[in-house]
Amino acid sequence: MSEDTIGAIATPPGKGGVAIVRISGKEALPIAEKMFIPAGGVAVRDFSPYRLYPGRIAAEGFSDYGLCVYFRAPHSYTGEDIVEFQCHGGESVARGILAKCFSLGARSAGRGEFTRRAFLNGKLSLASAEGLADMINGESEAEVRAGYLLYSEKLTEQVREFQNQLKELLAGVDAAVDYPEEDLEEREAEALRPELVRIRDAVSALAAGYAKGRKIKSGVTVALCGKPNTGKSSLLNRLVGYEKAIVSEIAGTTRDAVEGTLEIGGVRFNLYDTAGMRESSDRIESIGIERAENIVRAADVVVFVSDGTEKGDDEEARVRRLAGEKPVIRLRNKIDLQEGELSSEADVLTSATTGEGVERLKELLYEKSFGARGEDAAFLIEERHFRALRRAAESLGRAAEGCCVQPLELVAADMTEAWETLGEITGETASEAVVEEIFSKFCVGK
């Protein structure tokens, strides 16, 4: 537990109904005794934990009427004594109360220092702290959900289970190495290999969840592409709900990519209306087409838009080459202008003018990105966790391959390396630089 007491304003800057000033450390309660006068006559030192008490809060140069609550160590957010003052929401009021805390011995908290103390005091894992940051910074419902799963120790529990399994296996390996006269080494190696393969496969399967988690955190990139004047800009406007892109009957109006954003199933989708693909002698349009190709290469999902007025086989083949293994949705637009039976070759038929088929397009975008709706949200949303899991799986693979062809001491070294790599996720073996970087992303009052 830290020797000093830290303080910060825990609520966002600006005017509001209530502001919260938080102090944490061994001097939190003594500081509160010197600056809070309870209305009910109960002394601050006799406060029942986790209960709100009304009274007068002394600030630098003035006072305010508010509430005080005491969280007793170790059953608090940081694992230390915490006192929170709830005052009226003006910035000057909160700053004055915080200044009083400083004058009585507290110091200003650094970024994420409350949560860092929670981590150091064993109140949460490093992965859980990252999940909390994802919840705070989440820009979509799905990102907040995934952050909550990470914060609630779901990933930490799985990783620690892998570590416990490895620890048990290492105990058997150590016994076989320590007692060679009992001929345990060969039998241990034979039994060890399938167990290592099983753990490696489970770790790899967990790492595979990052393919979805990355898109939940960063948003799904969607490229709207096709020949000029097929209604891509109108489709973008219809999807985002307002006029984001310029719409014109003149082919080639879109010279540069236009971005719009919408949520589908709580997930952020970043849509790019790209320049129509065709051979062009116009230098500016050619640059736009080149940028469109780059967006298709980088996209998670590609929508090839046609309007049924002419064949677009060459352009579609070009788009599919650029997209590689990524899903391509074939969309036929402007169906409100077409007569007779519509072709069934398209994946979805739409009218950007009337909105027909747009909801089906949204469903397809989600399905191509994540599968059927209703699946559990991926909680592997941090690249750091993905890289650690992949390295752990590689170490386990080497250990499994070496079981019957090299000394068990070398196998144990790979197993230990896997255990330590997994510990980087929970924070047990994370470097100080990694810990510092994670908590520097928090605000001062968290």
Question: What residues does each domain of the chain span?
Answer: 6-109, 128-209+381-439, 217-370
How much is the average pLDDT of 224-245?
Answer: 84
From the list 260, 267, 279, 286, the residue with the least C-alpha distance to 352 is 260
The domain 6-109 is placed in CATH, from the list 2.60.40.420, 3.30.930.10, 3.30.1360.120, 3.90.230.10, at 3.30.1360.120
Is 353 among the annotated ligand-binding positions?
no
pLDDT higher than 70, residue 34: yes
pLDDT tens column, 238-275: 999 876 544 444 444 444 568 899 999 999 999 999 87
Average pLDDT, integer, range 78-89: 96
Q: Which residue has the higher pLDDT, 315 or 97?
A: 97
Structure tokens at 215: 């898109």
Was 323 annotated as part of a binding site?
no
Q: Is 234 annotated as a binding residue?
A: yes
Please give the class, per CATH, of domain 128-209+381-439: mainly alpha
- Highest-confidence range of 283-297, 334-348, 401-415, by mean pLDDT? 401-415
Q: Are 8 and 98 in contact (CB under 8 A)?
A: yes
**pLDDT average, residue stretch 270-297:** 73
Q: What is the pLDDT of residue 378?
A: 55
pLDDT > 70 fraction of the chain, expressed in percent and rounded: 86
- 5 annotated among ligand-binding-site residues: no
Ranking 38-42, 172-176, 277-281, 382-386 by mean pLDDT, the lowest is 277-281
Sign of the C-alpha dihedral computed for residues 429, 201, 326 and 375 taken in this order: negative
Compare 85 and 407 and report the one with higher pLDDT.
85
Dist. CA 207–CA 397, nearest whole Å: 14
Q: What pLDDT shows up at residue 230?
A: 87
Q: Using one digit for the tens of pLDDT, what is the confidence trace for 301-332?
A: 999 998 876 665 778 888 899 989 999 999 99
Q: Single out the residue of 331, 328, 310, 333 nearest to residue 318, CA to CA.
A: 328
The annotation status of 351 as a binding-site residue, yes or no, is: no
Residue 18: band (very low, low, confident or very high) from pLDDT cuts 50, 70, 90: very high
Choose between 396 and 174: higher pLDDT: 396
250 known ligand binder: yes
pLDDT at position 368 over 90: yes
Q: Does 229 appear as a known binding residue?
A: yes
DSSP code at position 52? E
Q: Is the pLDDT of residue 384 over 60?
A: yes
**Region 366-378 average pLDDT:** 72
Q: What's the average model confidence in pLDDT over 432-439?
A: 94
pLDDT at 61: 86
Dihedral sign, Cα of residue 405, residue 416, residue 169, residue 210 = negative
Q: Is residue 324 a known part of a binding site?
A: no
- 20 marked as part of a ligand binding site: no
> pLDDT value at position 312?
58
- Per the annotation, does 429 bind a ligand? no
More confident position, 232 or 162? 162
Residue 118 has pLDDT above 60, yes or no: yes
CB neighbourhood size of 19 (10 A):
27
Establish whether 84 is an annotated binding residue: yes
Q: Are 292 and 274 in contact (CB under 8 A)?
A: yes
Rounded Cα distance, 338 and 341, in Å: 9
The yes or no reply on domain 217-370 and CATH 3.40.50.300 is yes
The sign of the torsion formed by the CA atoms of 17, 23, 28, 31 equals negative
Q: Is 393 annotated as a binding residue?
A: no
The mean-pLDDT minimum among 148-152, 273-277, 437-441 falls in: 273-277
Q: Residue 173 has what pLDDT?
A: 85
pLDDT digit string, tens, across residues 155-201: 999 999 999 999 999 988 887 776 665 555 666 677 889 999 999 99
- Coil, strand or helix: which one is 262? strand
49 Ramachandran zone, left/alpha/beta (phi>0; psi -120 to 50): beta
The residues with which 58 forms a beta bridge, in sequence order, are 63
What's the chain's average pLDDT?
88
Q: Is 276 annotated as a binding residue?
A: yes
Highest mean pLDDT among 61-75, 138-152, 248-262: 61-75
- Residue 364 scores a pLDDT above 80: yes
Q: What is the pTM of this model?
A: 0.84
Q: Has 252 been labeled as part of a binding site?
A: yes
Judge whether 231 is annotated as a binding position. yes
In this prediction, residue 250 carries a pLDDT of 45
Cα angle 385-391-393, degrees, rounded to a multiple of 5: 100
pLDDT at 377 over 70: no
Domains 128-209+381-439 and 217-370 are alike in CATH topology: no
